[in-house]
């Protein structure tokens, strides 16, 4: 009796070709799955996917919006590459962004009217970095000192921060000029980030994001600290043997990651909304989307802008199909979720070789 047997064995060498092949294969399989879901939901998959991409890259407006949405993704995604490389699963970027937004709003509202823009703007970004960084340092300490799983602690921090922020905007920080809406007052003009004319692109944040990504790349690949982070991620046992200090490294890593998310929050408040409102409106799920951005960039900061633009495009495209196909914005989440699933499932093929063999089933 002939039998087909599936062999699975450890793959020792991973060539560049295999990596790219697996990536493309995962993306294609993901697209196929997404199309299937669309078909089953009564949506024309080709049209929907087409619309997503033309909505984001097919028009000037689309491109401008895509860049705008890519800015926070680049910042957060960049920071996450460092955290993930140290095997610290930072799911809390959402709240690190919000803490940055909160701290910078405080600075902006209280000192904005009294100081010139040249002073205020840097203060905003510093406050954002500090706010996000300190908020992220807490789960870092919880993990290294108390062995608390960082996935859960950062998740909890997200919710605590969101509730705290809502408390602020409907309570003590409620805008006096806002007629009962749950917003804070607008930031004064000096605390507002300029945008490129005709767009919503707050260019200063974009520059900061680009600079950060370049710096991060330098740090990871060219500094001693980055080296230590990479060793921890590669082999924690070897890191211990090499004398690397886990506590210090994890703390610094998280301050960087949280700080960058915080600066993204500054960008959103000072550049887009100009006041604080409900957490969802400010963070828009960037903290979670950035996880996929970092993953897709293979944790390489230099690739983050590319994957950020890609996912920003999908977000903008999602808005587009909301209008033209009257599909809910949530459709984009279907796309993101499915693609991410296939990406991580594809990693199995990077670690293992599969082949099918015809064999005669011998009488054993």
Partner 1 sequence: MEEIIISTAQRTLVAGTPLLLGTIGEVICERSGILNLGVEGMMAVGAVTAFIVSYVSGNPWLGLLAAIAAGMLVSSAHAFAAITLQANQVVSGLALTMLGLGLSGLLGKPYIGRPLTVKFESVAVPVLSDIPYLGRVFFDQSPFFYMAILLAVAAWFVLNYTRIGIKIKSTGESPQATEAQGVNVSAIRYWCVVTGGGLAGMAGANLSISYSKSWIEGMTAGRGWIVIALTIFALWNPMRAVIGAFLFGGIFVLQYLLQPLGISPNLLAALPYAATLVVLLMIGLGDSRKLNAPAMLAEPYKRGER
Partner 2 sequence: MAMKKIEHLEMIGISKSFHGIAANDQVNLDVRSGEILGLLGENGAGKTTLMNILYGLYQPDSGRIRINGKRLRINSPAESIQNGIGMVHQHFMLIQNHTVVENIVLGYKQAPFFWPQKKIKENVIHFSKKFNLEIDPDKKIWQLSAGEQQRIEIIKALFNGADLLILDEPTSVLTPQEITHLFEILQKMKAEGHLIILISHKLDEIMALCDRVTVLSSGKVVGNVATQDTDKKTLARMMIGRDVIFNIMREDLPKQIAVLTVENLIVLGDKGRVRVNGVSFQIHQNEIFGIAGVSGNGQRELVEAVTGLRKIVSGAVKINGKEITNDSPRRIYNSGVSHVPEERIKFGIAPGLFLFENAILKQHHLKKYSHNTFLAYGNIKKHTQALVDAYQVQTPSIHVRTKDLSGGNIQKLILGREISQSPSLLVAAHPTYGLDVGATEYLRRQLLKRRKEGGAILLVSEDLDEIFELCDRIAVMFEGEFMGVLAADDARLEDIGLLMAGSMRV
For partner 1, the binding residues (CB under 8 A) are 37, 41, 43, 89, 91, 142, 145-149, 151-153, 155-157, 159-160, 163-164, 166-167, 170-171, 288, 291-292, 295, 326-338, 340-341, 344-345, 347-348, 351
57 binds, among partner 1, partner 2, none (CB under 5 to 8 A by kind): none
C-alpha to C-alpha distance for 272 and 282, rounded to whole angstroms: 9
Shortest distance, position 350 Cβ to partner 2, whole Å: 12
Paired strand residues for 6? 356
Beta-carbon count within 10 A of 8 CB = 11
Residue 174 contact partner, candidates partner 2, partner 1, none, CB within 5 to 8 A by sort of partner: none
Binding-site partner at residue 234 among partner 1, partner 2, none, CB < 5 to 8 Å by type: partner 2
> Alpha-carbon distance 100 to 82, whole Å?
19
Binding residues for partner 2 (CB under 8 A): 12-13, 222-225, 227-228, 230-231, 234-235, 237-243, 364
Structure tokens at 173: 């920080």
Whole-number Å distance between alpha carbons of 311 and 66: 9
CB of residue 143 to partner 1, shortest distance in Å: 9
Cβ distance to partner 1 smaller for residue 193 or 292: 292
How many other C-beta atoms lie within 10 A of the C-beta of residue 111? 17
Query: Minimum distance between the CB of residue 193 and partner 1, rounded to whole angstroms?
Result: 28
Backbone angles phi, psi at 64, to 5 degrees: -60, -45
61 binds, among partner 2, partner 1, none (CB under 5 to 8 A by kind): none
Q: Give the nearest distance from C-beta 94 to partner 2 in angstroms.
A: 30
Cα gap 224→189, rounded to integer Å: 42
SS3 (DSSP) at 51? helix
Least distance from partner 2 to the Cβ atom of residue 240, Å: 7
Shortest Cβ 50–partner 1 spacing (Å):
17
Of the two residues 302 and 349, which places its CB atom closer to partner 1 in the complex?
349
Q: Which does 354 bind (CB under 5 to 8 A by kind): partner 2, partner 1, none?
A: none
Based on CB atoms, which residue is closest to partner 1, 59 or 149?
Answer: 149
Residue 228, contacted partner among partner 1, partner 2, none, CB below 5-8 A by kind? partner 2
Shorter beta-carbon distance to partner 1: residue 70 or 334: 334
Give the helix/strand (H/E) hosting 360.
strand 352-360
Partner whose footprint covers residue 269, from partner 2, partner 1, none (CB < 5 to 8 Å by kind): none
Q: Of 264, 249, 167, which is closest to residue 209 (Cα–Cα)?
A: 264
Cβ distance 82 to 72 under 8 Å? no
- Distance in Å, CB of 83 to partner 2, minimum: 18
Shortest reach from residue 332's CB to partner 1, in Å:
7
Residue 346 backbone class (left: φ over 0; alpha: ψ -120 to 50; beta: rest): alpha
Could you tell which of partner 1, partner 2, none binds residue 243, using a CB distance below 5 to 8 A set by kind?
partner 2
DSSP class of 359: E
Q: Looking at beta carbons only, is 106 or 278 nearer to partner 1?
A: 278
Nearest residue to 57 via CA among 311, 325, 294: 311
* DSSP for residue 267: I
How many whole angstroms from its chain centre is CA 47?
27
Q: Judge contact between 101 and 276, C-beta under 8 A.
A: yes
Contact 321, 55 (CB under 8 A): yes
Q: From CA 186, how far away is CA 167, in angstroms rounded?
A: 18
What is the smallest separation between the CB atom of 56 and partner 1, expressed in angstroms?
Answer: 17
By a kind-dependent CB cut-off of 5 to 8 A, residue 142 interacts, out of partner 1, partner 2, none, with partner 1
């Amino acid at each position: 009796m002939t039998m087909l047997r599936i062999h699975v064995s450890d793959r020792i060498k991973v060539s560049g070709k295999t990596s790219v092949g697996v990536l493309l294969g995962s993306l294609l399989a993901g697209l196929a799955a997404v199309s299937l879901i669309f078909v089953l939901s009564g949506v024309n998959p080709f049209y929907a996917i087409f619309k997503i991409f033309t909505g984001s890259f097919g028009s000037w407006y689309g491109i401008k919006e895509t860049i705008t949405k890519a800015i926070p993704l680049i910042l957060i995604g960049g920071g996450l590459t460092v955290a993930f490389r140290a095997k610290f699963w930072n799911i809390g970027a959402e709240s690190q962004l919000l803490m940055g937004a909160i701290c910078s709003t405080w600075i902006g509202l209280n000192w904005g009217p009294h100081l010139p823009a040249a002073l205020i703007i840097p203060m905003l970004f510093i406050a954002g970095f500090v706010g996000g960084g300190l908020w992220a340092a807490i789960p870092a300490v919880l993990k290294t000192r108390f062995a608390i799983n960082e996935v859960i602690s950062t998740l909890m921090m997200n919710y605590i921060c969101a509730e705290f922020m809502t408390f602020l905007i409907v309570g003590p920080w409620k805008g006096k000029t806002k007629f009962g809406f749950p917003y804070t007052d607008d930031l004064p003009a000096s605390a507002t980030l300029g945008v490129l004319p005709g767009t919503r692109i707050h260019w200063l944040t974009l520059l900061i994001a680009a600079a950060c990504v370049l710096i991060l790349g330098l740090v990871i690949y060219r500094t001693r600290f980055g080296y230590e982070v990479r060793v921890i991620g590669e082999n924690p046992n070897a890191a211990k043997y090499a004398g690397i200090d886990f506590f210090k490294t994890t703390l610094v890593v998280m301050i960087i990651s949280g700080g960058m998310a915080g600066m993204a929050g500054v960008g959103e408040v000072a550049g887009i909304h100009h006041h604080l409102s409900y957490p969802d409106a400010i963070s828009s799920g960037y903290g979670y989307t950035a996880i996929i951005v970092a993953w897709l960039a293979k944790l390489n900061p230099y690739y983050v802008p590319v994957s950020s633009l890609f996912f920003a495009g999908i977000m903008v495209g999602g808005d587009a199909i909301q209008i033209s196909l009257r599909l809910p914005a949530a459709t984009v989440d279907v796309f993101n979720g499915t693609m991410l699933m296939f990406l991580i499932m594809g990693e199995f093929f990077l670690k293992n070789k599969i082949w099918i063999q015809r064999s005669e089933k011998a009488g054993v």
